[in-house]
Amino acid sequence: MMKKSLAVVAAVMTFSALPASASTVVITPADASWRVIPNGPTDGTATITNAAPRSGNGSLELTGDRTRFALGTIFPNAASAHIAELSNVSALTFDWRIAGDAVPLLNPDYTPALRLSIFDTTSGSRKDLVWEGAYNGTYGNTLRDTWYSTTPSSLFYLNGTSVNDGRTIAAWVSAFGANSFVGGISVGQGSSAGVGYHAFVDNVTLTTTSGSTTYNFETAAAAVPEPATWSMMIAGFGMMGASMRYRRRSAKVTFA
């Protein structure tokens, strides 16, 4: 009885120590939730392709001078839909890769940019927190055709202020008014990247107090087995279990 009670306590402690939920949302070209923002910076292109798969069969391919591929809106106002309450946000990360044939005008190691578009209730205006490799030590440390991942410790700057005033997303939260919210998340190349720019993005992840959501860009969603296939798989597992139980019974030895 004591052992059973200890087992129950251990199970409860293990369960309570589990991290918050993490989910992955597959974004395909047919999904309209992420899109190039109308009336936004659209001198280049942002298209989900299979040219450089990251976590599956695709990624977001960026070409040309400037584009914003976004969830929500990059121009949030007080009436915009809330992707998340800013006070609950702790990190925004993504994977990025510079193509071997990229010819950026700004720097050979010019990276895609990651942005969090916020409606600030104190100023009553939209503000962007921006991640760029130039302010995170990537210049001179980047290989072409290689995937890299940012982390919760990566630095963002507030658009319109000194780019050197970099802070983590978690550190920025207290700089905004109460009830400020995230209205948009976007990736893309900035202005002056040049027509020869070429890069890839995948696995944009927003982390909040309730868990994380990863947006995985794929050319097609993974196939779901047909009902008949599921039935065959379940029957197969049942037969395997029965076979294992039979072998265990057959292996018993009886002494006189």
**pLDDT digits over 76-92, tens only?**
999 999 999 999 999 99
Amino acid at 2: M
241 vs 235, 236, 238, 245, 246, CA distance in Å? Answer: 10, 9, 5, 6, 9
pTM of the model: 0.79
Q: In this structure, how many other beta carbons lie within 10 angstroms of the beta carbon of residue 146?
A: 10
Cβ atoms 76, 183 nearer than 8 A: yes
Residue 22 tokens read as 């993490």
**pLDDT digits over 216-254, tens only?**
999 998 654 444 544 555 555 555 555 555 444 444 433
Q: In 3-state terms, the chain is what percent helix, strand and coil (to 5)?
A: 20, 35, 45
